[in-house]
Copies of this chain bind each other. A is one copy, B any other.
Amino acid sequence: MSAAQGINVAIIGVGLVGTSVIQQLTTVSGLSSKLHIVALQNSKKTLLASSASALSLGSGSSDWKTQLSESTTSALSLPELVKVLEKITSETGRHTAVVDNTSDEKVASFYPEFLAAGLSVVTPNKKAFSGSIDLYNNILKHKSNDKVGSKGPLVYQESTVGAGLPIISTLVDLVNTGDEIVKIEGVFSGTLSYIFNEFSTPKGGSKKFSEIVKFAKENGYTEPHPNDDLSGSDVARKLAILSRLVPELATALPEGYLSVPTHSLTPAPLADVASGEEYVQRLPEFDADYDALNKEAFDNGSVLRYVGVIDVKNKEIKASLETYPASHPFASSLSGSDNIIAFHTKRYPTRPLLVQGSGAGADVTAMGVVADLIKIAERRS
């Protein structure tokens, strides 16, 4: 096997997901010969492969965290990183993919320049695909995923929706083989799934909304500020990502997730509360409102679920609190913080294609990233 085989991987962001990505790349049998880590970068430091060989991060070498913190190279600017990666690409004779494990808007808006330099991009970062249509189109222009015979850069983003669950790849396969998407409907937020699975059950609800949110926050199921989940914007971002993969809706959302009608679960008086602690403290003032909604659903034999809906026929995309009858899969088969996504299509007309499972967590998110890297290695090595 020549040194030119496989691809190079440059990793930006080494938090929870980044750490798990590195762990999988360095310990899973067979991966190190396909995926050669040549750069690691956090906000402070950059660790670079010094020659044509990849970084030595596995067992036997010193821990990558130590190596990174002891690196004498300060964090490179993104244009500097591109230059270094172009050099490594040329020296190794291997294609290079950048993995963005941040949730940084600045890194996301730099994707077109990575791509213009011939670098592929893999990421769980939702920002680039759920923001303005201009950035998105600029990415589309440079990526060559669907261009026959091209050896240009690729973009993979499985983990932007449902983490490692096969959501993006399934939608892409449906569209590419000519199926017609009628409606995509699902519980896209693990946090909101957990909250409503606890709050609203076919047997009614015995817990206070505010107590569930408090418990979820204390156990790390929510973002540090629960409004980041309860505002619905994370769901709106996922809807923007998916709807842009549906040909009829490719240009439907000029401002991305901001163009998606989104029902915020945060009571208006709490919208500007800056501290997550204060937010949770004041939430009980509004329990009666949540209870009334829950009771109305229960009296109709239904439960409340916070869902995202992409209705292709009516060109309606929305993130909202809806009721589902107790027999519906969203009511009956969901538990914990599971995501569930239903694809109603021309080929799956009466009963949808369903994918369900944990849609958050470092390991499953990293799994989607690594599976995407393998696909790039298959296409470019």
Contacts and interface: CB of A to CB of B under 8 A. Distances in A.
A177 B24 contact: yes
B354 A354 contact: yes
Interface centre among A2, A145, A148, A336 (most CB of B within 10 A): A148
Interface string A344-381: 00011011111111100101101100110010011101
A165 B33 CA distance: 30
A274 interface: no
21 contacts: A1-B148, A5-B148, A6-B149, A28-B176, A29-B178, A30-B146, A30-B176, A33-B148, A34-B148, A149-B381, A165-B353, A166-B169, A166-B173, A177-B370, A177-B371, A333-B333, A347-B363, A347-B367, A351-B358, A353-B358, A354-B357
Nearest to A5: B149
Tell me the number of copies of this protein: 2
B332 A333 contact: yes
A4 interface: yes
A1 B178 contact: no
Given A149-B381, A354-B356, A379-B379, 14 more contacts: A1-B148, A1-B149, A2-B149, A28-B178, A173-B371, A173-B374, A177-B366, A177-B371, A179-B367, A336-B350, A338-B351, A353-B355, A353-B357, A355-B356
Nearest to A165: B353
A33 to B, nearest CB: 6
Contacts of A364: 347-348
A164 interface: yes
A174 interface: yes
A27 interface: yes
Contacts of A378: 145, 379
Contacts of A30: 146, 176
A71 interface: no
A30 B176 CA distance: 9
Contacts of A352: 357
A259 to B, nearest CB: 26
Contacts of A2: 149
A24 B175 CA distance: 11
